[in-house]
Amino acid sequence: MADVDVEKGVAEATAGNSKFGWNKRVVLGPDYWRWLVVVFGLTSSILGSSLIAGWWLVENHLGVGIFFLVTTCLLSACTLVFVSLAAMTDPGILPRGTTSPEDVPESDNAVRLVEVNGVPTIMKFCGTCQIWRPPRSHHCRKCDNCIEKFDHHCPYVGNCVGARNYHYLLKFIMSYLASMAFGFPMVILAITWESISLQSSQNLSPAEAFGTALKTDGTFLLFIYLFINVWFSFFCVRLLVIHLRLIWKNTTVAERNKKTFEHGNPYPKRGWQNFRAVCFPDVKPSRIVAGYEGPTWSLPEDCDVTIVGEAIDNLEQGQSTAKLSSSLKSTYSADSAVSDV
Ligand SMILES: [Zn+2]
Ligand SMILES: [Zn+2]
């Protein structure tokens, strides 16, 4: 058995489809226009509904109006900052071609068996990036780069979500839902107060006053904004529940989709520790930023990875994990099941 070496060297320029700016401090996905659509949609709907409802509240009750207006505007600003950071941060691109020549296998589809914390796991060679992909990494076809602790390619920020920007995505979802937790009561309170005020000033019945309040200038726009926010809130709640469940189990979306841990999850953190690690992560420096000279490859945290066999060069394109696992098990006489990374 040999310990896995973490290769060191100057990060080379990456190819792939990501867009770079400011000496690669800003990394956008190939479909970054999606993030711009989300930012525009959220800015107009959150701020639009907050300003209209806030104005009605301020007219009827200055203190309550200012409280809701300031709170929703601050939370909305956090939402926009976090979604933009998720879209613009390097998700954890692994520099290409950094594997030492003697470690490059003959085939681009080579695999090797490693043990992650004692659990047999398949490590794949990425023919495009010419690197042995560390456990939990994955090659994103859209960005055309290998991403450290790849979670998924997010269609809403147009970028990959991985080791370096996952926490921003989570904070975006949570701050958006927090802004809605204040935004919805604010709108209900604004319409109710407007109705009560009309009821007394124009001597109307409660139903008539409510109907008149709904015909006030800006109501139509408010309901369009509300429709967008209600729809997006349901979507975000569902997304948050999915991610919280995965964080609890220390599993990424990619690992869930590929059923990577069918035979056991080798990563030790469980439950609340995972939430702390995700919300306050120890984010490593970007490996592609100009001037970076640190390791180009790293192991997942709290992991003891050992190579238990030489590279196998005969993995055919499309060969299933089940087939591969059984062939590796017979090759190495491993008794336990083999996980795919
Ligand atoms: Zn790759
Ligand atoms: Zn991607």
Residue with more model confidence, 69 or 260: 69
Count other C-beta atoms under 10 Å from residue 73's C-beta. 17
Q: Are 41 and 60 in contact (CB under 8 A)?
A: no
Nearest ligand to the C-alpha atom of residue 139: 1
Residues paired with 116 in a beta bridge: 119, 305
Of 108, 99, 94, 109, the closest CA to residue 149 belongs to: 94
Name the strand (E) or helix (H) holding 126: strand 119-126
Q: What is the pLDDT of residue 302?
A: 62
Instruction: Say how far apart CA 26 and CA 38 lie, in whole Å.
Output: 18
Count other C-beta atoms under 10 Å from residue 19's C-beta. 16
Calculate how far, in angstroms, residue 156's C-alpha sits from the geometric centre of ligand 2: 12
Calculate how far, in angstroms, residue 146's C-alpha sits from the geometric centre of ligand 2: 9
Q: Are 84 and 78 in contact (CB under 8 A)?
A: no
Nearest ligand to the C-alpha atom of residue 141: 2
- Based on the residue annotation, tell me whether 154 is a catalytic residue of this protein: yes
**In which residue are the tokens 């439950």 written?**
271
Band the pLDDT of 339: cuts 50, 70, 90.
very low
Band the pLDDT of 311: cuts 50, 70, 90.
low
Residue with more model confidence, 324 or 236: 236
Band the pLDDT of 7: cuts 50, 70, 90.
very low
Nearest ligand to the C-alpha atom of residue 127: 1
Q: What is the pLDDT of residue 188?
A: 86
Band the pLDDT of 236: cuts 50, 70, 90.
very high
> Does residue 86 have a pLDDT over 90?
yes
Calculate how far, in angstroms, residue 310's C-alpha sits from the geometric centre of ligand 1: 20
**Overall average pLDDT of the 60-66 stretch:** 87
Q: Please identify every residue whose CB atom is under 5 Å from ligand 2, which is an ion.
A: 140, 142-143, 153, 160
**In which residue are the tokens 């929703």 written?**
72
Of 154, 129, 100, 116, the closest CA to residue 13 belongs to: 129
Q: What is the pLDDT of residue 114?
A: 80
Q: Please identify every residue whose CB atom is under 5 Å from ligand 1, which is an ion.
A: 126, 128-129, 139, 146
Name the strand (E) or helix (H) holding 325: helix 321-332
Q: What is the pLDDT of residue 2?
A: 38
- The pLDDT mean for the chain works out to 81
Count other C-beta atoms under 10 Å from residue 229's C-beta. 24
Calculate how far, in angstroms, residue 139's C-alpha sits from the geometric centre of ligand 2: 8
Band the pLDDT of 105: cuts 50, 70, 90.
confident
Residues 244-286 pLDDT 10s: 999 998 999 999 998 888 777 888 667 888 898 888 888 888 9
Annotated catalytic residue, options 140, 146, 154, 160: 154
The answer to which of 29-43, 63-77, 212-226, 327-341 has the lowest mean pLDDT is 327-341
Calculate how far, in angstroms, residue 279's C-alpha sits from the geometric centre of ligand 1: 27
Q: What is the pLDDT of residue 94?
A: 92
As given in the structure block, the two tokens for residue 303 are 């992991």
Residues 135-176 pLDDT 10s: 899 999 999 999 999 999 999 999 999 999 999 999 999 999
Calculate how far, in angstroms, residue 217's C-alpha sits from the geometric centre of ligand 2: 44
Residues 16-61 pLDDT 10s: 889 888 888 899 999 999 999 999 988 888 888 888 888 888 887 8
Provide the residue ranges of all domains of the chain, joining segments of one domain with +: 32-89+165-225
